[in-house]
Amino acid sequence: MNEVTPNAALARGATPVAPTPAGQAGALPAGHPAVRWGRVGVLLMNLGTPEGTSYWPMRRYLKEFLSDRRVIEVPRAIWWPLLNLVILTKRPGPKGRDYASVWNNERDEGPLKTITRGQAEKLQAAMGDRVVVDWAMRYGKPEVDQRIQALLDQGCDRILLVPLYPQYAAATSATACDQAFRALMKMRWQPTVRVSPPYHDDPVYIEAVASAIRRDLAALDFEPEVILTSFHGVPKSYLMKGDPYHCQCVKTGRLIREALGYSPERMRTTFQSRFGNEEWLKPYTDETVKELAAQGVKRLAIVAPGFTADCLETLEELDGENRHYFEDGGGTHFAYLPCLNDGPEGMRVIEHVVARELKGWVD
């Protein structure tokens, strides 16, 4: 194990040690605080989830999320009264009911939290004692600053931050890193930090998604006429300001389609989860679903390769709302194909990304 742990040594009655200029352990002077150092940490970071589905937990979560200037770029003078006087009054109730429809009642938590924990636990098992693996949420709990501190407390002076987003967006990857950097700004002894890059076109990721789609389609009792690859949307203005998200999503969709050997007509890229009056990335998933049903398409499947874990936007929005849109429009067969989650394909991708980015730290 690549660590020196004076605290553990002290517990056994040994002399405390600390790094010397030569990188070797030496005796600490009298009165020196105990030091843990020399280990490597990995922090998986996902978006977040409320702590409950009732009004106040939902309000706290929505306020933190919708107050983020990376997420909402509307001028504060306009957005603050709209958020605090309208949205946070009206949305917690309906949104809480949406979360309740997909809630993990056994653990009393959202599915995103359950799955992200599972990903961290399986990654730790795969990495063994070479690294310390932890996980955090950008909004809600467990909090990023606390989990970074937990890694430091275990002797991690090198930490790999892994935003769990295959495609980069300022409203996802960047804000997750912002939160980590805020924590670093308060530290006297900062760890050395790396950030894993987006992996939207990584062959391991593309093949994992394609493999999962093949498996899930084979398990259906029908063959879809059309398959939608649905990505979370962002306002079109973000693209025009230079955000690469749209381009990376389109490339991911194309690479998956080519790996499966489908035509552009049979496998299409769309964008979901818009709100407000501003134009968002198109084509919209819900409008496409309605249009396909109106055109006479009877068999439809949707997959969400931009999400590393199933959550409200996939389980309730895609498998719930959009299923209803399709069936109400005359569709007869609908399937939502799950995210990679902490299954074999999902863990293969995460392990690949982490192993690649730890080169030089962990052999």
Residues 6+ apart with CB under 8 A from 286: 272, 321, 322, 325
SS3 state at 333: strand
The answer to whether the CB of 24 falls within 8 A of the CB of 152 is no
Phi then psi dihedrals of residue 121, to 5 deg: -65, -40
Q: How many angstroms separate the CA atoms of 120 and 348, rounded?
A: 13
Q: Which two tokens stand for residue 269?
A: 């890229």
SS3 state at 135: strand
201 Rama class: left (phi>0) / alpha (psi -120 to 50) / beta: alpha
Dihedral (C-alpha) 43, 45, 48, 51: value to the nearest 10 degrees?
Answer: -10
Q: How far is CA 306 from CA 85, 169, 201, 202, 283, in A?
A: 32, 11, 12, 13, 16
Residue 147 identity (one-letter amino acid): R
Dihedral (C-alpha) 121, 127, 132, 134: value to the nearest 10 degrees?
Answer: -30
Judge residue 131's burial from the number of C-beta atoms within 10 Å of its C-beta, 0-12 exposed, 13-18 middle, 19 or more buried: buried
The answer to whether the CB of 130 falls within 8 A of the CB of 362 is yes
Q: Please indicate if the annotation marks 313 as binding a ligand.
A: yes
Q: How far is CA 230 from CA 22, 250, 260, in A?
A: 53, 10, 16
Helical residues (DSSP H) of 234-343, grouped into ranges: 236-240, 245-260, 285-294, 312, 323-328
| Bind-site residues | 232, 313
| Bind-site residues for Fe(2+) | 232, 313
